[in-house]
Amino acid sequence: MHKALLVTMTLFALGADVAVADAPEVNATAAQIRAEAARGNDDPLGWPFPLAAHWNTGVLAGGFDPDWQMQMIKQDHHLLPWFQFPIGQITPASLAYYDLAIKRAAELHLPISFVGTQYESIMADEPYFSLPPDQNPNLLKTDGTFAKVADPFGPVDTWKTIGKQWTDNPVLKRIQELYPDPPLVMIVSNNEFPKLSWSETGSSQRYSQLYGAGHDGNFKRKVIGDGFIARYRALQDGMRSGLVNPTWQKNVRFVGYEATGISAFGRWAGWLNYSDYSPERISAWPLAWDGGSACYYTLNSDPSTDFTLWGPQVEGMNLVFMNEQARRMNPNYWFEISTWDGHAPNLDNDKRKTYAKLGQTATPERYGGFVQFGLWLMRPRAVREFRGWTDTVADAGPYFEPVMAAVDRIYAVPTLAAFWRHGTLVANVAHTHPYQAAIPDEYKNIPRWFLLDTNLDPPRPWTLATVLPVFSLALVQGQVGDRQWLIYAHAPLGDRKAVQLTIPDYGAVTVDVSVEGSFYRVDEKTMAVTPVSTRQPKASGARTTGERTADAGGFRTTAAILGKRLPGAHGCACSFRARRSTGDDAHGLFAGSLLLVLYGLRRSRPEAAAEVKPSTGFQPRGSNPCRVVGPVRHGSERPRRGLFHVQ
């Protein structure tokens, strides 16, 4: 018997963990995730493809935990892995939560992200809250007392000290040891700690001492914005300095929730009270953070919906020009959206209950169509779904599935990929954006309306409560006379047949629109309107050729045999996935004439496939698909556990 075969069979007979190469499609998905996360906003290849992410970090059983995420990546979903921000001492719980998934991320060389609280918030705790004024970062009021509010005019150095306190901890040091060379480390902040507003400067002793009275709102918003830029960058510098690995220090990026422009721009005159606008700068936050996660929520606390003028689809149109400005100020600015359907089951104002009272159903398909509109409207780097920290995959998973699908199909469908990379969003200049309250002069003529006209639109003028049966947009490529458009449309209140959509500077087309969303390609030269199929293959780059069930060391394995060759493999090489009765996953590799069942996960070097030689009498069938033909035997021995001939 060949030495390599004997060693391999002995390991399986002993039940040892044997590392084999990852299935090629897993490595391909990981490579796509890595490439798109690292791609610059101005990459010559075009606009970076998006990734899917979440706010629920799975710290409770059944949540969207890191091990579940690795399973999803193995199933060819394009996720930006997320972890709860690590703090404290190393414990059995921290080892169980981080180690396996971090090692797996390291093996696949994936980008990683850490989701946490508002990191500056510990300024409200001791010892910081009792520091003297020259060291205290909290709001110093005119009466000499402090309020638990971030002060843009307080001492900067304390912000840096606070930042370092977060990252200088044993758990994060261990993670850096386990994964020393991530291509991207993202630290995400909930960013909801109270901050001094420009309308409250009268309560600030430091503002009064610096600037005195008599300044208008533009001045106040400008100096507050400048102050927070310096302090949040100091916080981030402190967090960076607490990292012990130079690669982590270099590759870390900081993203804040709503560190973006204000999407409510123009909805009512009071939007300015919640804004940091100053002339020539719609928002200071893209200078204070490396990125922002915009709110794309149908909030349960207000009347917004996915079917009226007051809703994220319409508000998101404001962010298009704001993001263009943000990238001019900060070319590497990472813009993502956070999505939520307002589901709060324990509250009376739960948005699903609101819809039910109207005779509607808030299905995952409807939610997916709504999210997909925001995705194609704003083309974010990531779409990060919000659910509560106690939510589970069992309950919330069906609503995250269409989010993942919306991202994955951009990678899988060539037409969508081409328009995502190079398409230009089409403005509908026949109308102005309905939100027109208190618009600064410099933005009055900027196109903000991207909704296509339809034959189902209600008569104008519209109000915030106006119902819109269909939401549709278009992207364009090519030159006049030879243009192509990609149309995306969704109908939140039910499928619509024969809807007439008007493409600016082209004309009307007639299409069917579904709840979950429909894509069409329109060709100017041929005048053809073609549905874009969004059906995705089972595995990226793989061809399923058959199934065979075999008993392998306690596994009842139904393996989808994927026609593949691996570099250096003798004979044919295929991959499979399986699930044990205990719920553990198995992964295997067909190499030469052996089906290797891997106990306990994880990969090896691809060269492992080349070490396995065909058994006596086996004739490889070239590039033909492999099939299981029986367990490996040697003479009169019992079948070797976990080893199977393939042809």
Q: Which residues of 147-180 are buried (b: 16+ CB within 10 A; e: fewer)?
A: bebbbbbbbeebbbbbbbbbbebebbbbbbeebe
**pLDDT of amino acid 539:** 41
CA 357/CA 401 separation, integer angstroms? 26
**pLDDT of amino acid 24:** 75
| Total-model pTM | 0.81
Q: What is the pLDDT of residues 496-530, one digit of tens each?
A: 999 999 999 999 999 999 999 999 999 999 999 99
**pLDDT of amino acid 615:** 32
Two tokens at 363?
A: 């299905």
Q: What is the pLDDT of residues 458-492, one digit of tens each?
A: 999 999 999 999 999 999 999 999 999 999 999 99
Two tokens at 535?
A: 């059906």
Spans of the chain below 70 pLDDT: 1-23, 536-647
CA 506/CA 529 separation, integer angstroms? 12
Long-range CB pairs of 471-474, under 8 A, 24+ apart, other chains included: 471/313, 471/373, 472/501, 472/513, 473/373, 473/376, 473/377, 473/425, 473/426, 474/425, 474/426, 474/503, 474/504, 474/522
**pLDDT of amino acid 537:** 53
**pLDDT of amino acid 351:** 98
Two tokens at 524?
A: 């100017």
**pLDDT of amino acid 295:** 98
**pLDDT of amino acid 26:** 80
**pLDDT of amino acid 244:** 98
Could you identify the residue written with the tokens 């079948």? Answer: 639
Task: With beta carbons less than 8 A apart as the criterion, state whether 53 and 383 touch.
Answer: yes
CA 643/CA 640 separation, integer angstroms? 6
List Cα–Cα distances, 621 to 314, 561, 611, 633, in angstroms.
58, 15, 19, 21
Two tokens at 291?
A: 């990125």
Residues paired with 52 in a beta bridge: 79, 383
